[in-house]
């Protein structure tokens, strides 16, 4: 969840919304607020339907999408 919200509210998102989409600051804030709200609502809905999902929301994800429980390792392609 934290990683998803970081993507939405980070400075790169602001640059994309302003430069690529051409939004003014108010429209940018509305888009960021909407996206963050949708992510949080989806996470809440997921945890209410799947009790074990709560533990997975903030779990770090490895190179192939697996949940890491130890230190990060380099991704090999």
Per-residue pLDDT of 23-53, as tens digits, reads 999 999 999 999 999 999 998 998 887 655 4
What is the pLDDT at residue 8?
A: 85
Looking up tokens 């919200």 gives 5
What is the pLDDT at residue 52?
A: 57
What is the pLDDT at residue 9?
A: 84
* Secondary structure, 3-state, the chain: CHHHHHHHHCHHHHHHHHHHCCCCHHHHHHHHHHHHHHHHHHHHHHHHHCHHHHHCCCCCECCCCCECCCCCCCCCC
Domain spans, the chain: 2-55
What is the pLDDT at residue 49?
A: 72
């Amino acid at each position: 969840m934290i990683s998803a919200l970081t993507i939405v509210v980070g400075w790169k998102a602001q640059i994309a919304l302003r430069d690529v989409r051409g939004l003014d600051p108010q429209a940018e804030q509305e888009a960021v607020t909407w996206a963050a709200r949708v992510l949080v609502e989806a996470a809440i809905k997921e945890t209410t339907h799947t009790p074990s999902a709560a533990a997975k929301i903030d779990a770090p994800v490895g190179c192939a999408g697996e949940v890491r429980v130890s230190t990060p390792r380099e991704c090999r392609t």
